[in-house]
Chains A and B, each alone.
Chain A
C-alpha cells in the first residue's frame, strides 16, 4: 500500500536489473497549461528480457522512452525521478554523458524510419557514421560492418543496397535499416517505439521475428512500445499498461492477458476483435475518450470512463489510486477491493472476453 516503499517493486534493488526507472515524471509547460505527459512511472528490466509498454495514443509512452534515452534534454521538459542504466543514474547525469551512452549502451528505433534517417545520405553512410562515433575504426572496416548488419536484418543484396538512399527502400526495408543502425554498436538496451505500426501485417511479422532473434543473439534488454496488445503478446515478458501518463497495470505478460485485473485493461481487451476467439456479435468499447493531459480527471484518471465506480464509491473521483501489488509481481492502480474485483472479473468480464 505504501507507494514509496514498493512503487512497481523497484525499491528492492535487484542486481540483475539492467534498467531501473523510478517514479519518472516528464512535464511540459505550455501556453495552455502544464502537460503531465508522464506522471510517476516505474519499471525495471533485465538483460535478455522484453518489457512491453501499452496504451492509447497520448498516454505518454513515447515521452517516457525518450526520457530514458535522454532525448528531452535542452528542451522545455521538466524531468524528475531516477533512471538507472547498468548502475549509472541518468536523470542527474550530464547531457554529454547520456549522449555517449546513447548508441554505445542504448539505442532506439522509431515508428517512422524516414523521419529518423537523413534523406541526403545513403543508408550505408548513416550506419557507418553511427558506428564510427563509438568505434575508432577505418571507414572500410565500418563499411564491411554496415553490410554485415544489413545482411543480418534481412536486406537482400546488402553489398549493393548499402549505397541506396532511404527513399529507395520500401517501408519494411527502411525499418530493417533503422534496426541495423540501432544495432551497429551492440546496444544492451533497445527501445522500439511502435516499430511496426506503419507496416503491413506480413512485414510486421518479419520485423517482430527479427527483434526476437536479435534479442536472443545479443542478449539485450528490449522495450517495445505499442498500442497493439497483439504485438505485446508476441514479444513481451512483462507488460506495463499506461493511461493518461500513469501506469495502471504492471505484471508478467501471461498474468496480464490471462488474469487482467484493472478495469482499463479489461476495456482494452474487450474492445479488440480477435481472430483466436469465436466471433462476437458486438464489441465492448470503452465509452468516452482519453482525457487531455492538461486537465487530467481528479482521483483515478480513468473514472469518467470506468463502469465499476459504483462498487467503490467516491474514492474513484477523489483519491489517486497507487500502483499496488495484488498478486506476486502483479500490480494495479485501482480502488476496487480484491473480492469485488474477483467477482466482477469472474461474472462480468471473463465470460465476454
Chain B
C-alpha cells in the first residue's frame, strides 16, 4: 500500500480483480475469462487527483466502474472512507452513492435526450430523496452557475448544447450531492482542444472550492501531467508504475511508461528530427490470454528470459515511486528523482 497517512487515504484498493466470463455454445458454458482488471493495489489521498493512464482496453473504465461499485469485483477489496464497500448490495450502497460519483467518457450518450437539463441535474436529489433549502430548482440553478452554464437554460434539452456544455451538465449532475470522490472517465477526450482546456480548468476550480478528491481516467499524457498529482500507469489489467507526477514525468522507470511518453507528438516541428524515439511494435495483446509473467514482455525491448518466467512485483524504488519491472530504467543523472 502506498502512502496511507493517518486518516489520509479516502480510498484504498487491494488485490482488485474483475474477470468477465466468456461463454460459448448453446448452453453458454464458460470457456475463459477476460481479465480486464487483474490485481490492483493503490490508495487515493483526500484532496488529491490520481490519474489512471494506459492504452485502450487496459482496464481503466472497468476500474472506474469497480471503484464506483457499478460493477461487482471478482476479488480484492475496496475501502472507502473507512467502509469496506467491496461487496455492498445496491441498497446498502445507496447512502454512499452521495459520496462517490462518476463522470462518464461520452458527453453525448450519457445524458438522457428526452429530459431537460433541470431534470437531469436535479435527478440525484430526487433519487436520494434529499431535501434542498430553497427547492430543487434553485439548487440546480446554483449548480449550473457553478459549472459555468447559464441558469436560465434550466428547461433546455441536451441536444441544444455543445459537447463542452454537455460535459458541464454531466459535471453539475455529479456535484449535486456534494460528493467526496469523483471518478471521471476520460472527461475531456471527446472535446475540442479549446473546450478541453475550459473543462480542465473547471475541474481544478471545483476541486479547490469543494475539496474534491478525483480519480481521473485518461489516455492523453499531456493532459494527465497537467491535472494529476499522482499517476498510475496500467497495462493489461495491472499497474506497471505508480508515482508522483513530477517524479514520473522527470524520470519514468518502467519501459512501458517510457515508450508511452516517447510516442506523444510534440508540437515543435523544428525538433522532430532530433527526438529520441522508442517505438513499440504491434498492438496490446488480448486480455483474454495475457502473456505470462511480465505482460509487457512481448513488446518490451529490454525483455530477458526472467521476464517470461517471473512476474515482476510492484515495488517502491524511491519514496513514492513504485515500478513493476525486473530491469527498470535508470534515473538520468541530471534530474534527481522526486
Contacts and interface: CB of A to CB of B under 8 A. Distances in A.
18 contacts: A171-B283, A201-B221, A202-B279, A203-B283, A205-B277, A206-B281, A209-B279, A230-B264, A232-B267, A257-B267, A271-B194, A272-B193, A274-B222, A275-B261, A279-B249, A282-B201, A289-B164, A289-B165
A282 B204 contact: yes
B197 A271 contact: yes
A173 B193 contact: no
Interface in B191-208: 192-198, 200-201, 204
B204 A272 contact: no
Nearest to A196: B265
Given A200-B55, A267-B194, A271-B196, A233 B269 contact: yes
| Residue from B225, B269, B279, B280 having most chain A Cβ neighbours under 10 A | B269
A227 B164 contact: no
Contacts of B221: 201, 275
Contacts of A201: 55, 219-221, 260, 263-265
A204 interface: yes
A287 to B, nearest CB: 8
A268 B222 CA distance: 15
Nearest to A236: B269
Contacts of B268: 233, 257, 276
Contact of B197 (A276, A279, A285): A285
Contacts of B193: 56, 227-229, 268, 271-272
B165 A231 contact: no
A76 interface: no
A258 interface: yes
Given A56-B193, A57-B192, A200 B56 contact: yes
A203 B219 CA distance: 13
A208 interface: yes
A13 B8 CA distance: 69
Given A201-B220, A267-B194, A271-B194, 19 more contacts: A56-B195, A57-B192, A171-B283, A201-B263, A205-B262, A230-B266, A234-B266, A271-B197, A272-B193, A273-B197, A273-B222, A275-B261, A275-B266, A279-B225, A284-B197, A287-B198, A289-B162, A289-B165, A290-B192
A286 interface: yes
A275 B225 contact: yes
Contacts of B225: 273, 275, 279
Contacts of B282: 156
B131 interface: no
A2 B220 CA distance: 43
Interface in B53-76: 55-56
Contact of A231 (B164, B195, B220, B265): B265
Interface of A: 56-57, 154, 156, 170-173, 200-206, 208-209, 227-234, 236, 253-254, 257-258, 267-276, 279-280, 282-287, 289-290
Contacts of A275: 221-222, 225, 249, 261, 264, 266
A201 B58 CA distance: 14
B226 interface: yes
B146 to A, nearest CB: 17
A283 B200 contact: yes
Given A171-B56, A275-B264, A283-B226, A258 B270 contact: yes
Given A156-B282, A170-B283, A289-B165, A230 B265 contact: yes
B272 A233 contact: yes
User: Which 5 pairs, one residue from A and one from B, show the smallest C-beta to C-beta distance?
Assistant: A230-B265, A285-B197, A286-B194, A271-B197, A273-B226
B259 interface: yes
| Residue from B193, B223, B249, B261 having most chain A Cβ neighbours under 10 A | B193
Interface string B274-300: 000101111110000000000000000
Interface string B4-38: 00000000000000000000000000000000000
A181 B266 CA distance: 29
A230 B267 contact: yes
| Residue from A205, A209, A254, A274 having most chain B Cβ neighbours under 10 A | A205
A276 B196 CA distance: 19
Contacts of A284: 197
Interface in B213-236: 219-223, 225-226
Contacts of B267: 229-230, 232-233, 257, 269, 272, 274, 276
B269 A56 contact: no
Contacts of A200: 55-56, 219, 284
A206 B219 CA distance: 17
B177 to A, nearest CB: 28
Nearest to A59: B192
Interface in B277-334: 277, 279-284
Interface string B36-57: 0000000000000000000110
A279 B270 CA distance: 21
Contacts of A279: 225-226, 249
| Residue from A203, A268, A275, A286 having most chain B Cβ neighbours under 10 A | A275
Contact of B279 (A172, A205, A269, A271): A205
B191 to A, nearest CB: 9
Contacts of A272: 193, 197, 222, 267
A224 to B, nearest CB: 12
A205 B194 contact: no
Contacts of A57: 192
A271 B262 CA distance: 21
A235 to B, nearest CB: 9
Nearest to A239: B269
